Amino acid sequence: MDLGPFLFLASLEGLVQAAVLSLSALGLCLVFGVLRVVNVAHGEFYMAGAVIAWAISHALPGQPLLGFLAALFLAPLLVGLAAFIADRAILRKINHNPEATIVATIGMLYVIQQSALIGFGPDARPMEPPFYFHVNFPWFGYSGYKLSVILMAAALLLFVWYVISRTRLGLFMRATQLDREMAQVSGIPVGWVYGLVFAAGAMLAALGAVLIAPIRQVHYLMGLDPLLMSFIVVIIGGLGSIRGALLAALVIGMCDGIVSMFFSPTLAKMISTLLVALVLILRPEGLFGQRKPL
Amino acid sequence: MSDNTDILADKDKRKSLRKLAGAAGIAMTAPFSPVLMGHALGSDRPIKVGMQLHRTGIGASYGRWYERTAVATVKLINEEGGINGRPVELVIEDDGTDPKRGAEAIEKFATWHKTDVAYGTLFSHVVIGSSPRAGELKLPYYVVSEGYHVASGSLNRYVFQPGITDVRSQMVSMAPWIAANLGKKVTMIFPDYAFGHDHRDYFSAAIAEQGGEVLEMIPIPPTESSFTRYFPKIPRQTEVLYHVLVGPGVLTFVKEMGQFFGTRDRPRIFGYIDSLEAVDFATPQLEFLQGTHFWEAFPRYAQPDQTQHDQYFRGQVGVDNNGASVNDPRDISTYSHMFGCWETLFIIKQAMEICGYSGPEDRQALIEATESLTEFPESRNHPQGGKTFNGKIHQCFGIQHISRVEDSRLNVVHTTSIEDGLYEPEADYTQMAL
């Protein structure tokens, strides 16, 4: 294949990767930014979203579009509810202590993963895409659904931006992130904000998973890769910085897509991880993170 | 070989004498001690077969069918009187399709469950990870893996693959047909671990012998979930695209291959059925496979010339004529692999009967008895077809099929002979100490 089309296909693949990655990384970033919790179970919320999406679309056979839309709405909602309960029942009891929450979320990781193994089974199952539409470029064919994933993710990200910057809930979140105690004395129900943000983080991961499920398959181990990639993105972008996370997701996603195609996917992962190491050494607060006053 | 047989014969004689003496002693005391009698004959203690199963992890769909096949085989063996008059008990340990856990399962079989043999592993990295432990613990280990690692001599005397042909033999037997009917300029896509490396090494050698060449090799990690990025590496002048993949992403792999080629001209496609084991050919977006070819060890769809043994095997394991579960037409079997579990258990039984196996102290005799086997004629116990067995490399050789996709099913177009798949052995396990 010539260089031009090759680069074009690599960019498309990179954009799909970046689109889904930005959703899940944004979730991880929100949770860290507001709660200061490193959510190790983030990838499992992603997987749970895909499993629920599969179950919903499976329950509506012959209606892939309806099944997909129902999954896009219900799966994040259910995952968010579970995350909210997990926050109230576990993280709140340990006062969102940064060290203890790491251990607690590792526990959640195993509980969610093994529950999926018991309930959903060990097989990879395909989810039917909402439509079959094939784009035939002169050099290669491409799935129309994949292209639509990029648009859907962009729309969802716009919606998240709107909620954070233009709504009362967003204001509460930003206030809690800036200074928890000041937010509390100003009458913001910080406990609820914590629960809602933890749920929102999980919902974003689940949304990404619902978008990707018809492209790849649903499998109980599918959460590991997005967890790693989300961490890479969040660390490079700056822990807690939404702008940084989005930009890093785009860079890492595109870099992953292009390096994977020109060289090898393993090299792409190595470069991403090396980038993390470099950022940690040269600019520990990340590209857009704020340096903490000493 | 003849030396071994003589040793075996001597051992057999000794064993027979020992048994005779034991039986005489028991006969004298029997009226006084019925409990002791049962114990001495060992009839109350089952023969334990430790099955190392991919119940979870990337090999789970194979594991599900390996388990069903093994359970059906054990049931049949027990209905027919067990092995040496003793019932067979299957002890299952999940290895998570992980080499480290595989080695732990072997340890558990040897020290905790105290099984007589270990059996049933498929994924080659698990076999390679578990074999050293089986050798150290002197636990006979019968794998159903297909990889060349057993026959290559890189494992040890306790590891056998008597129920399924290895990849090298499959390559050697099919390369002439591929070169003559599909093309000689090949691009290979294979999983980037031991099993895939066997394909890489032995197919490229086999096609070179036919005057062909491999233009490009594209390895893919077996845990990969996105594949489009690999396809642009296929050179334009490729005549045959050879694909083999395993793991949870196989369906995505094949679908994305179809999307990539779209409606343009594409090379001819030859795949290993591994790329679609446990997957329905009638799945949407697989239509592009029409007219492509697949290797099959045992035809998934019952063919017009189906043997009575195939019919019987399907009935016992619960597989319909489309290769799906009789209880759920969407639950597709791993038909080209799981027969190996059936055949291997019957071979363990045969070897145990030859050496009069009575317990773990006879494990070495069991190794020698298995090595003494030479042939498994096509029969109910060997439904996939007749096989020869080379005791020096612990590997069997059988027939292979090449099938064509027609109307979402596979029809056999060529069957190789056992002789087509023979190669010069590179090892001799019988020279290793027991």
Domain extent, residue A135, equals: 18-221
Q: Is A268 domain-assigned?
A: no
Residue B49 DSSP SS3:
strand
Largest Cα–Cα distance in chain B? 85
pLDDT-flagged residues of chain B (< 70): 1-44
Let me know whether B36 and B64 are in one domain.
yes
Closest by Cα among B205, B188, B117, B112 to B426? B205
At residue B398, the pLDDT reads: 97
Cα distance between residue B113 and residue B251, in whole Å: 37
DSSP conformation class of A289: P
Look at residue B311 and tell me if it is in a domain: no
The edge-to-edge listing of strands for the beta sheet with B375-376 is B375-376, B387-390, B395-397
Residues in chain A where the model's pLDDT stays below 70: 1, 290-294
* Dist CA B30 CA B9 (whole Å): 30
| Closest alpha carbon to B260 in B280, B233, B292 | B233
B156 with B173, same domain: the answer is: no
B73: containing domain: 2-166+337-397
pLDDT at A106: 96
CA dihedral B242, B245, B250, B254 (to 10 degrees): -10
Count of Cβ atoms closer than 10 Å to residue B219 Cβ: 18
Query: A293 is written with which tokens?
Result: 């006053």
Nearest CA in chain B to A122: B56
Query: Number of folded domains in chain A?
Result: 1
**Cα–Cα distance measured from residue B188 to residue A182, given in angstroms and rounded to the nearest whole number:** 62
pLDDT of residue B263: 77
Q: Which residues contact B68 (CB under 8 A, 6 or more apart)?
A: B317, B318, B338
Look at residue A292 in the predicted model and tell me its pLDDT: 55
pLDDT of residue B118: 98
What is the pLDDT, as a whole number, of residue B316?
97
In a domain, B428, yes or no: no
Work out the minimum CA distance from B5 to partner chain A, whole angstroms: 45
| Same domain, residue pair B290 and B351 | no
**B284 and A132 in contact by Cβ < 8 A?**
yes
Q: Mark whether B15 and B95 lie in a shared domain.
A: yes
Residue with tokens 């470029």: A137
B152 and B13, same structural domain? Answer: yes
CA distance A265 to A29: 25
Q: CA A127 to CA B328: how far, in whole Å?
A: 18
Query: Residues for chain A: how many in total?
Result: 294
Nearest to B232 among A117, A219, A261 (CB): A261
Residue A287 resides in a domain: no
Q: To which residue do tokens 């045969």 refer? A: B350
Write the DSSP symbol of residue B231.
Answer: G
What is the rounded CA–CA span in Å between residue B323 and residue B332? Answer: 6
Q: Residue A291: its pLDDT value, please?
A: 60
Which residue among A124, A217, A257 sits closest to B229, beta carbon to beta carbon? A257
| B399 Cβ contact partners less than 8 Å away, ≥ 6 residues apart | B384, B385, B386, B415, B416, B417, B418, B421
ipTM score over 0.85, yes or no: no
Asked whether the beta carbons of residue B248 and residue A221 sit closer than 8 angstroms, the reply is: yes
On chain B, the residues whose CB falls within 8 A of the CB of A13 are 226, 228-229
Number of domains in chain B: 2
